[in-house]
Amino acid sequence: MEGSGRVDLSDIVWEDVPKHRLTPEALRTVKYFHQTESFTFYYLKGLMETRAAQQEPEFAPFLCAWAYEEEFHGRAFLKFMEAYGESVRDDYRGLAFSGRTIGERIDEAGQTALSMVFPDVWPATHMVWGAIQELTTYHAYRQLMDRTGHPVLKVICERIMKQELKHFAFYYQQARKRFADSKLAQKIARGALTLAWTPVGDGMSSKDDVSHSLSFLFDGHDGDGIKKIEQRIQTLPGMEWFDLFSRYVEKNGIGKAPAAWLDHPGECAAPAAE
């Protein structure tokens, strides 16, 4: 709590943003993560209803800090896109929430039910789920920096990544502790993940956008980035089996991004949107 705060953008020269062009595919990926970061607060309800949030002293404070920091990650991408020349509707949150998939709605109801049936072990599922998503986001921003070559975006991503790494550390350590204490927690998490897990951003974004981002950032099943994420999660007790990310990209035929997507157009006199 004492180390939390909004990502610092006070020294960003926003006028420099449109001087460096992005490919349309890169800009689409930036928009995807603006949405992903901006919708974090929708997931708070399920977490706050758990017994852990009510009884464990470190749980609720972390969630408050996490939601606050994630909100400003979304705002950072929003400012970047506006500086680049992209317009974003004021009601973008409401549009995405009302348009979320049937699967997302079922997940919400299922989480509420399972938190009531297994109040002591259900938080472990939340924690490993969060660890996967935070680790994915951390690696995604590293790839976004490398694959766009945009100097302003690089600074923003580097600062966000520091906070994402702290978020991941909390989720990972919480999951490790809970799985080490309970075989039942391991079994329930395996069942829930196998049944309902999808990559970060899925549910609030279209399948096409999810597939595009996984191809742009990780080269889908042709790259090694997704396997590295899985290998880290597999170090948790009872998670040696985790390969759902690889299964997802194989099932959806998500492969290597075309070279043209990753081209660095360089400096220009006007925003790409013009």
pLDDT at residue 271, as a whole number: 43
Residue among 97, 78, 77, 98 nearest 89 (CA): 78
Q: How far apart are CA 207 and CA 101, in angstroms?
A: 10
pLDDT at residue 143, as a whole number: 96
Residue type, position 130, single letter: G
pLDDT at residue 236, as a whole number: 98
Q: How many other CB atoms sit within 10 Å of the CB of residue 191?
A: 12
Domains, the chain, in order of start with CATH, read 15-89+102-267 (1.10.620.20)
Residue pointed to by tokens 């020269």: 13
Q: How far apart are CA 239 and CA 176, in angstroms?
A: 10
- Hey, is 112 helix, strand or coil? helix
Q: How far apart are CA 15 and CA 171, in angstroms?
A: 37
pLDDT at residue 108, as a whole number: 61
Q: What is the pTM of this model?
A: 0.87
pLDDT at residue 52, as a whole number: 67
Kindly provide the b/e burial profile for residues 118-147, where b requires at least 16 CB atoms within 10 angstroms of the residue's own CB: beebbbbbbbbbbbbbbbbbbbbbebbbeb
Q: How many other CB atoms sit within 10 Å of the CB of residue 241?
A: 12
What tokens does 123 get?
A: 């938080």
Looking at the chain, the whole-number percentage of residues with pLDDT higher than 70 is 81
Helix (H) or strand (E) holding 266: strand 266-267
Instruction: Answer for the pair 165, 135: CB distance below 8 angstroms, yes or no.
Output: no
Q: How many other CB atoms sit within 10 Å of the CB of residue 60?
A: 16
Q: Digits of tens for pLDDT over the chain (274 positions)?
A: 788 899 999 999 999 999 999 999 999 999 999 888 887 776 776 677 666 666 777 888 888 899 899 999 999 999 999 999 998 877 766 666 666 666 655 566 556 655 555 556 888 998 999 999 999 999 999 999 999 999 999 999 999 999 999 999 999 999 999 999 999 999 999 999 998 899 988 877 788 999 999 999 999 999 999 999 999 999 999 999 999 999 999 999 999 999 999 876 655 544 444 4
pLDDT digits (tens, 9 = 90+) for 150-188: 999 999 999 999 999 999 999 999 999 999 999 999 999
The DSSP code for 4 is: -
Residue among 242, 247, 221, 218 nearest 232 (CA): 242
Q: How far apart are CA 36 and CA 200, in angstroms?
A: 7
Residue type, position 192, single letter: A
Angle formed by the axes of helices 183-196 and 122-148, to 10°? 50
Q: How many other CB atoms sit within 10 Å of the CB of residue 238?
A: 20
Instruction: Answer for the pair 91, 25: CB distance below 8 angstroms, yes or no.
Output: no
